Amino acid sequence: MVMGIFSKTCEYAIRSVFFIAHRTASGNRVGIKEIASGIDSPEHFLAKILQDLSRRGIVQSAKGPNGGFYIDERGLKRPLSEVVEAVDGNSIFTGCGLGLAYCSETNPCPLHNEFKAIRNQLKDLLEQTTIADFSESLNLGITKLRK
Amino acid sequence: MVMGIFSKTCEYAIRSVFFIAHRTASGNRVGIKEIASGIDSPEHFLAKILQDLSRRGIVQSAKGPNGGFYIDERGLKRPLSEVVEAVDGNSIFTGCGLGLAYCSETNPCPLHNEFKAIRNQLKDLLEQTTIADFSESLNLGITKLRK
DNA sequence: AAAATAAAAGAGTTTTTAGTCTTTTATTAA
DNA sequence: TTAATAAAAGACTAAAAACTCTTTTATTTT
Ligand code: FES
Ligand code: FES
């Protein structure tokens, strides 16, 4: 299989965050089984990812009956870039497209100028749009999180 | 380590193609050791990559004394996208940013519109710029292939 | 023809990413 | 206060990507 722009872990993280945001807008909680089937991901693998996002305060969780995952007000206002950075780090926002140890103006690779422009657009998109913004389209039924 | 936008294999492929283009503009050939050290890659790993690019006709090679790798006239005029596709496939040009099985207008993910715009810019860049174009800056001493 | 050279091919190992399964801990409700 | 529920944690396995080492084949030069 050939990788996308984000790692599989990060794809699941983003999709689950959107799913949780969408399902828990009104103070509800949603369980791991429901999330996993809602975004079409392996349940126990997703559990690990959400444990990590929970430790980092990106999502919240509660154990026991009526427990599950949710996202608080502050969380909904976070830019999506925070989810991506938490999982994949920031190399996608700052790293050289050709894998040079450092991307720099003084030692640029042949793709530098063009690549940097594109990379910055992705950065801007993810930094300027909140989790709530993105999941809006789910409320409207326009977008999907699984095939 | 956290991956970039291309696989490590693809990064080495692109860098080596630029290196070979730069070094063999005037009918010369360049050996694997020199390429590997020139782009700072593991020699035997790069050998595998170049064997593959050679089978696909993206680079040319000759065995024996004075042998080595080179790129013919037609090769220099190829867009960089052909190197990327040969190694990483075309999912970077067509795949969903959130990993949905298909990226489509009828079943879009929440990132679809914005992501597609950015993805298409990368596609256009790689399709519209030839290997020769990119390695031009190496001739001028402006860009680098290793730190 | 023999020796030297350099890529091609084959057969691995290591590391990272992805995914699974089981046990423990916390919370709630009967 | 016991049973049920659901996440947290731990210990794995599987697959893919990255990398290494050795042998073979083709070519050229002496
Ligand atoms: S140096 Fe390669 S993208 Fe900046
Ligand atoms: S459906 Fe996700 S990018 Fe098009």
pLDDT (0 to 100) of residue A26: 83
With CA atoms as reference, report the closest residue to B82 among B47, B37, B132, B117.
B132
Domain positions in chain B are 7-77+131-147, 79-129
Residue A78, CA distances (Å) to A58, A127, A133, B53, B99 in order: 8, 9, 10, 44, 22
Position B1 confidence tier, pLDDT thresholds 50, 70, 90: low
Is the CB of B109 less than 8 angstroms away from the CB of A12? no
Mean pLDDT across B124-131: 98
Residue B147: the pLDDT is 83
Task: Give A12-37 pLDDT, tens digit per residue.
Answer: 999 999 999 999 988 899 999 999 99
Report pLDDT digits (tens) over A34-67.
Answer: 999 999 999 999 999 999 999 999 999 999 999 9
What was the pLDDT predicted at B48? 98
Q: A3 pLDDT exceeds 90?
A: no
Instruction: State the average pLDDT over residues B14-30.
Output: 95
| Mean pLDDT, rounded, of chain B | 96
Mean pLDDT over residues B5-30, rounded? 96
pTM: 0.95
**Does the pLDDT value for residue A2 go beyond 80?**
no
DSSP chain B: ----SS-HHHHHHHHHHHHHHHH-TTS--B-HHHHHHHHT--HHHHHHHHHHHHHTTSSEEE-STT-EEE--HHHHTSBHHHHHHHHH-SHHHHS-TT--S---SSS--TTHHHHHHHHHHHHHHHHHSBHHHHHHHHHTT---S--
Give me the pLDDT at residue A25, please: 85
Q: Which nucleotide is nearest to B31 (CA to C1')?
A: C6
Q: How confident is the model over B49-59, as a mean pLDDT?
A: 98
- pLDDT one-digit tens code per residue, B133-142: 999 999 999 9
Q: Per-residue pLDDT for B25 more than 90?
A: no
Nearest residue on chain A to B93, alpha-carbon basis: A4
**Residue A108 Cα: closest atom of ligand 1:** 1
Q: What is the pLDDT of residue B98?
A: 98
Contact between B26 and B103 (Cβ < 8 Å)? no
Q: Which residues of A touch B110 (CB under 8 A)?
A: 18, 134-135, 137-138, 143, 145
- Protein footprint on strand D: which nucleotides are under 7 Å from a CB? 4-11, 16-22, 25-29
Average pLDDT over residues B49-75: 97
Q: Tell me the residue length of chain A.
A: 147
Ligand 2 pocket, residue B47 CB under 6 Å: no
* pLDDT for residue A16: 98
Which residue of B91, B100, B145 is in closest CB contact with A146?
Answer: B100
pLDDT at position A1 over 60: no
List pLDDT tens digits, range B64-116: 999 999 999 999 999 999 999 999 999 999 999 999 999 999 999 999 999 99
Per-residue pLDDT tens for A86-141? 999 999 999 999 999 999 999 999 999 999 999 999 999 999 999 999 999 999 99
Q: Separation of CA A88 and C1' C9 in angstroms?
A: 36
Question: How many pairs of residues across A and B have Cβ atoms under 8 Å apart?
Answer: 119
Q: Which two tokens stand for residue A91?
A: 């190399």
Of A111, A122, A129, the CB nearest to B118: A122
Q: Does domain A7-77+131-147 have CATH number 1.10.10.10?
A: yes
Confidence band (pLDDT; 50, 70, 90) for A147? confident
